[in-house]
């Protein structure tokens, strides 16, 4: 009978463990104390999810610039009201104006209380106990120094300190400062020595790229560069070059018959010097054809005085184009002379027989309407509070539906265990 009872107990314990697993008990680690589950919803948290209220009078307010979506990360400040008849932990503590009330020593913010009433605020300016919880009994063994829980790249350069596994820490910042330190043996964190890196690739090598240019905007509408594997690659003394650097390819020389742009031809005599890189540029091996003229030669006013070249940058889906131009007496009123374009590499604007061409011909070939600096444009949803209210509510509804489905699956999986436990208990 005792063994049967033990089996029933084990089965029931298994049932409990299944339910507990669904809630993912807190594991001490480097965490942000303001994390709340709704931050993972599409659209982020609703105002209520932060313990705030929708500010309906702000529906038409732009809560972020047009290139960024209407999510709680961008819109909470402008769209949610903090003035509540019953202050919550969110309005009075977590999202309060600076200085933010701090929990008493030995406790920390309890994100699960963010929408709960805060209660009476202590006279000493600390956070009320209702918004706090006991700090976890964590040690450095529980901390992951490279955990990406906040923006910025400094976390990528951190490593665990030596001999601190049993050292206790009590909060995000305390764990970070107690358990972690900058790792000088990552390619992206080589020690800075005043004006030069202490570790160098030398004249025959080049440092591997630590980041790559964006190919388009991310979910937040930003054109963020992405880290490469080389950034956190580990090296040891004597291996920096082999791990963090690439050997320079041999410098190229111009071909006898190089491929030149349409407005250029091969140099004669050909340049016999080494080119600057592994491939030669058109300017190193080619020259303008005799009948071609750079438009910028006409950057002059009516007195023949040279005018200053200007440029305008335009960014569309993370690709920036620079348009160079100048004032010119050759252009019609309201136009400027287009001298060149830069999209990664510079391309000079040219025309045929520009030195002898009539003003009307130059105007047609080289002049454009003066460009205007434009804001970066990327695809993105509307950025008004009304759009945020709709998106946040939809995200909350979708999350609730998903949680309900998960709960049903969990209950279904546990029924056979409960049935077996009941059957065995009936035989006791």
As a whole number of angstroms, the distance between CA 109 and CA 36 comes to: 11
Query: Do 298 and 355 share a domain, yes or no?
Result: yes
b or e along 214-236 (b: 16 or more beta carbons within 10 Å of the residue's beta carbon)? beebeeebebeeeeeebbbeebe
Closest to 252 measured CA to CA, from 224, 276, 236: 276
Q: What is the pLDDT of residue 66?
A: 61
Sequential pLDDT tens for the chain (428 residues): 333 333 333 333 333 232 323 222 223 333 343 456 677 776 678 899 888 999 989 888 888 766 566 777 778 888 999 888 899 998 888 887 767 788 887 788 888 898 899 999 898 888 999 999 887 778 898 888 765 444 444 445 677 888 999 998 877 778 888 898 877 777 876 644 444 456 778 888 988 998 898 888 876 677 888 888 888 888 887 888 999 999 999 999 999 999 999 999 999 999 999 999 899 999 999 999 999 999 999 999 999 999 999 989 888 888 888 999 999 999 999 999 999 998 878 888 999 998 899 999 999 999 999 988 765 444 455 578 888 888 888 888 888 876 655 555 444 444 443 333 333 333 44
As a whole number of angstroms, the distance between CA 97 and CA 423 comes to: 59
Query: Do 328 and 280 share a domain, yes or no?
Result: no
- Per the domain annotation, does 413 fall within a domain? no
Query: Do 335 and 268 share a domain, yes or no?
Result: no
Query: Do 285 and 301 share a domain, yes or no?
Result: no
Query: Do 274 and 327 share a domain, yes or no?
Result: no
| Number of domains the chain is built from | 2
Size of the chain, expressed as the number of residues it contains: 428
Query: Do 284 and 270 share a domain, yes or no?
Result: yes
- Per the domain annotation, does 183 fall within a domain? no
Examine the fold and report which residue of 244, 273, 290 is the final residue of a domain before the chain moves on: 290
Q: Which domain holds residue 274?
A: 254-290
- Per the domain annotation, does 186 fall within a domain? no
Examine the fold and report which residue of 290, 310, 345 is the final residue of a domain before the chain moves on: 290
- Per the domain annotation, does 321 fall within a domain? yes
Query: Do 296 and 353 share a domain, yes or no?
Result: yes
Closest to 118 measured CA to CA, from 150, 91, 78, 97: 91
- Per the domain annotation, does 175 fall within a domain? no
Q: What is the pLDDT of residue 423?
A: 37
**Those residues with Cβ within 8 angstroms of residue 416's Cβ, 6 or more apart along the chain or in another chain:** none
Query: Do 262 and 336 share a domain, yes or no?
Result: no
- Per the domain annotation, does 405 fall within a domain? no
Q: What is the pLDDT of residue 210?
A: 86
Query: Do 333 and 346 share a domain, yes or no?
Result: yes
Query: Do 297 and 281 share a domain, yes or no?
Result: no
Query: Do 332 and 355 share a domain, yes or no?
Result: yes
Examine the fold and report which residue of 290, 308, 336 is the final residue of a domain before the chain moves on: 290
């Amino acid at each position: 009978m005792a063994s049967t009872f033990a089996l029933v107990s084990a089965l029931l314990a298994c049932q409990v463990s299944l339910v507990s697993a669904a809630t993912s008990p807190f594991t001490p680690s480097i965490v942000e104390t303001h994390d709340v589950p709704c931050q993972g919803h599409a659209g982020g948290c609703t105002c209520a999810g932060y313990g705030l209220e929708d500010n309906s009078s702000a529906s038409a307010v732009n809560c972020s610039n047009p290139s960024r979506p209407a999510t709680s990360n961008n819109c909470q400040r402008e769209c949610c009201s903090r003035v509540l008849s019953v202050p919550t932990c969110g309005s009075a503590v977590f999202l309060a104006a600076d200085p933010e009330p701090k929990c008493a020593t030995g406790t920390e913010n309890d994100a699960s209380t963010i929408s709960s009433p805060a209660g009476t605020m202590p006279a000493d300016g600390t956070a009320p106990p209702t918004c706090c919880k006991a700090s976890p009994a964590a040690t450095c063994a529980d901390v992951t120094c490279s955990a990406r829980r906040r923006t910025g790249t400094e976390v990528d350069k951190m490593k665990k300190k030596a001999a601190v596994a049993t050292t206790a820490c009590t909060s995000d910042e305390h764990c970070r400062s107690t358990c972690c330190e900058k790792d000088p043996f990552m390619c992206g964190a080589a020690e800075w020595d005043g004006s030069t890196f202490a570790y160098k690739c030398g004249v025959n090598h080049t440092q591997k790229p630590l980041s790559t240019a964006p190919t388009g905007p991310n979910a937040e509408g930003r054109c963020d560069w992405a880290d490469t594997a080389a950034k956190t690659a580990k090296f040891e003394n004597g291996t920096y070059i082999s791990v963090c650097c690439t050997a320079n390819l041999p410098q190229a020389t111009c071909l006898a018959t190089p491929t030149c742009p349409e407005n250029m031809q091969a140099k004669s005599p050909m340049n016999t010097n080494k080119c600057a890189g592994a491939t030669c540029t058109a300017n190193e091996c080619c020259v303008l054809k005799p009948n071609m003229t750079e438009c910028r030669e006409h950057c002059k006013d009516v007195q023949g005085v040279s005018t200053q070249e200007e440029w305008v940058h335009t960014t569309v889906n993370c690709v920036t184009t620079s348009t160079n131009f100048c004032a010119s007496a050759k252009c019609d009123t309201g136009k400027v002379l287009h001298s060149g374009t830069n999209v990664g590499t510079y391309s000079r604007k040219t025309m045929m027989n520009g030195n002898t061409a009539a003003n009307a011909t130059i105007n047609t070939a080289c002049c454009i309407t003066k460009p205007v600096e434009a804001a970066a444009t990327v695809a993105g949803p509307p950025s008004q509070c009304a759009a945020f209210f709709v998106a946040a509510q939809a995200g909350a509804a979708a999350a609730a539906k998903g949680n309900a489905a998960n709960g049903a699956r969990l209950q279904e999986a546990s029924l056979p265990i409960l049935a077996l436990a009941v059957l065995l208990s009936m035989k006791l």
